[in-house]
Structure 1
Amino acid sequence: MPYLTRPVLAPGALARVPQPALPTGDGLVVRPWRAGDAPAVYAAFQDPAMHQWHLRACDSEEEAAGWIALWQASWAGEREAQWAVVDEGTDALRGRVALRQILLGEGVAEVAYWTVARARGQGVAARAARTLSRWAFEEIGFHRLELFHATANEASCRVAGKAGFALEGTKRSALLHPDGWHDMHLHARLQAD
């Protein structure tokens, strides 16, 4: 049975080109992960705030290296795309930004991010999310980007707003964290915004 509409993005929209590095224009670079980032990823996940708002723990640099290998390979599969957010001058890790739950045919993906403890409060996540969103809309042609966070995570809610994601609603009891079920805010940006 044929569809009545054409796919927003065709298969290969991402994988046909190498994963890009995206300068934010203000001192950060959103770049593909490298094997040498494993120690910094492991260190980032030793922060208690990461355990509060994320569902995974990282028990060793070897485990972080395995994650990075998966993140690097995920570009070709076009289901998710992960980037390191680094200082433009020093290449020091400041965080991570990603497109997850990519649905090319619908032109939709989810934006996710985290920052290392020493980079919080400096606008790193918002700058990275804005840069990634601009690229996803203007260079690739996504129609809609969504962003979810626990309603109790007020800092993440501020990041979403600063990155241009409008609050659309609350998904009740939507994600199980170590301390129980969390309501989740749904934010979104459209290409036309």
Structure 2
Amino acid sequence: MELRGNKVVLRPVADGDPEILDRIVREPEVAAWWSPPDDYEDALAVVHQGKVIGLVQYAEESDPEFRRAGIDIFLTAKRHGEGLGADTVRTLARWLVEEKGHHRLTIDPAAANATAIRCYGRVGFKPVGVMRAYWRNHRTGVWEDGLLMDLLADELT
């Protein structure tokens, strides 16, 4: 599977990618919000101009009464601010809606991660509410708030 956005290509994680992704997730700007992934199942490498610049993953709820998918993403700090995150999220979101049949997508950034929240808003995600003490910061051990955001299929920009 390979998904093409306007600026990025999303493809399965290949040999050699985990080492690159491990370096990226340890960058201070990325490590502030992410701990190293346990595995790369349901994850895609984010490629820009032939280089791996990050990871996007998804999770699907298959219960027909609650069917939805969730998205998580990290990109190297060297490429922040170039619209690559929004292109990545939009590309995966389109695939989850058009090919996988999801009518609703969720994303749950740290409530303090204003950059990520703006990025997801550009794709059409809207704040639903703050989830108190939602995620444990792996650097400090402190439970921190998350922001639940969702996107309905017809709101995808």
Specify the SS of the correspondent of 2:154: coil
Partners of 2:150 and 2:51 in 1: CA distance: 29
Pair member with larger Rg: 1
What is the TM-score normalised by the length of structure 2? 0.88
Is it true that 1:84 corresponds to 2:11 in the alignment? no
Is it true that 1:135 corresponds to 2:95 in the alignment? yes
After the TM superposition, which segments of 4 or more aligned residues of structure 1 sit over 4 Å from their partners? Answer: none
Partner of 1:149: 109
The share of aligned pairs that are identical, in percent, is 28
Specify the SS of the correspondent of 2:108: strand
- Superimposed CA distance per residue, residues 90-131 of structure 1 (whole angstroms, 9 cap, x where no aligned partner): x2012111112x212232121110001211111111110001
The structure whose residues are more often helix, as a share, is 1
Partners of 1:32 and 1:44 in 2: CA distance: 17
Specify the SS of the correspondent of 1:149: coil
Q: How far is 1:141 from its partner?
A: 0.2
Partner of 1:98: 57
Partner of 2:119: 159
What is the TM-score normalised by the length of structure 1? 0.73
- Superimposed CA distance per residue, residues 24-51 of structure 1 (whole angstroms, 9 cap, x where no aligned partner): 0x23101111012123112212311222
Partners of 2:111 and 2:77 in 1: CA distance: 20
- Equivalent position to 2:129, from 157, 169, 182: 169
Q: How far is 1:57 from its partner?
A: 4.0
Specify the SS of the correspondent of 2:16: helix
Alignment of 1:54-133 (within 5 A): 54=34, 56-57=35-36, 70-71=39-40, 74=41, 81-87=42-48, 89=49, 91-100=50-59, 102-105=60-63, 106-133=66-93
Q: AA paired with 1:146? A: T
Corresponding residue pairs, total: 151
Partners of 1:137 and 1:148 in 2: CA distance: 18
Unaligned runs of 5+ in 1: 1-19, 59-66, 75-80
- Conservation of the 8 A alpha-carbon contact between 1:94 and 1:124: no
Partners of 1:182 and 1:163 in 2: CA distance: 25
Partner of 1:4: none
- Conservation of the 8 A alpha-carbon contact between 1:147 and 1:187: yes
Unaligned runs of 5+ in 2: none
- Equivalent position to 2:12, from 32, 35, 45: 32
Partners of 1:43 and 1:173 in 2: CA distance: 28
- Conservation of the 8 A alpha-carbon contact between 1:95 and 1:125: no
